[in-house]
Amino acid sequence: MSAMQALPWQGEIWSRLAHTRAQNQLAHAWLVSGPHGVGKRPLIAAWVAAMLCGQPNAEGFACGVCGSCKMLLSGGHPDAHLLTLDGHLGLAFNPSLQREDGITHWQPEKSSKRKEIAVDGTRSLIDALHVASHRQGNKIAVIAPAEDLNRSAADALLKTIEEPTPNTYLILIADQAQSLSPTLRSRCRPLRLGVPPALIVLDWLKSQVPESSAEACSTALSLARGAPFIALEQLQQGEVSPAIGWRAALDEIALGRGDPMKLAAAVDDETVTAFLHCCQVWLVDFLRKQVIDGVQISGRKVAQLNNELHDAHRRLDANARAQLVLEAMLIGWLRLLAPAPRSSPQSVIMQNRLA
> Which residues here bind Zn ion, judged by CB under 5 A?
53, 62-63, 66, 69
The set of residues, in sequence order, having a beta carbon less than 8 Å from that of 66 and lying 6+ positions away, is: 53, 54, 55
Q: Judged by CB, which is closer to Zn ion: 45, or 153?
A: 45
Cβ of residue 25: shortest distance to Zn ion, in angstroms? Answer: 22
Distance CA 311, CA 216 (A): 29
* Phi and psi, residue 71, nearest 5°: -65, -40
The set of residues, in sequence order, having a beta carbon less than 8 Å from that of 316 and lying 6+ positions away, is: 272, 276, 322, 325
- Helix 198-208 crosses helix 228-236 at what angle (to 10 degrees)? 30
Distance CA 245, CA 47 (A): 41
Distance CA 299, CA 290 (A): 13
Q: Judged by CB, which is closer to Zn ion: 66, or 266?
A: 66
* Phi and psi, residue 231, nearest 5°: -60, -45
Q: Judged by CB, which is closer to Zn ion: 53, or 117?
A: 53
Cβ of residue 172: shortest distance to Zn ion, in angstroms? Answer: 25
Cβ of residue 98: shortest distance to Zn ion, in angstroms? Answer: 23
Q: Judged by CB, which is closer to Zn ion: 62, or 177?
A: 62
Cβ of residue 137: shortest distance to Zn ion, in angstroms? Answer: 11
Q: Own/partner pairs for 57-60, CB < 8 Å, 24+ apart?
A: 59/14, 59/15, 59/18, 60/14, 60/17, 60/18, 60/21, 60/22
Cβ of residue 14: shortest distance to Zn ion, in angstroms? Answer: 16
Q: Judged by CB, which is closer to Zn ion: 46, or 62?
A: 62
What is the bridge-based pairing of β-strands 87-92 and 80-84? Answer: antiparallel
Q: Judged by CB, which is closer to Zn ion: 9, or 61?
A: 61
Distance CA 153, CA 234 (A): 34
Cβ–Cβ contacts within 10 Å for residue 99, how many?
Answer: 13
Cβ of residue 148: shortest distance to Zn ion, in angstroms? Answer: 31
Cβ of residue 124: shortest distance to Zn ion, in angstroms? Answer: 27
CB-CB contact of 129 with 165 (8 Å): yes
Q: Judged by CB, which is closer to Zn ion: 38, or 48?
A: 48
Helix (H) or strand (E) holding 90: strand 87-92
Q: Judged by CB, which is closer to Zn ion: 43, or 49?
A: 49
- Residue whose C-alpha is closest to residue 173's, from 6, 31, 49: 31
Cβ of residue 217: shortest distance to Zn ion, in angstroms? Answer: 33
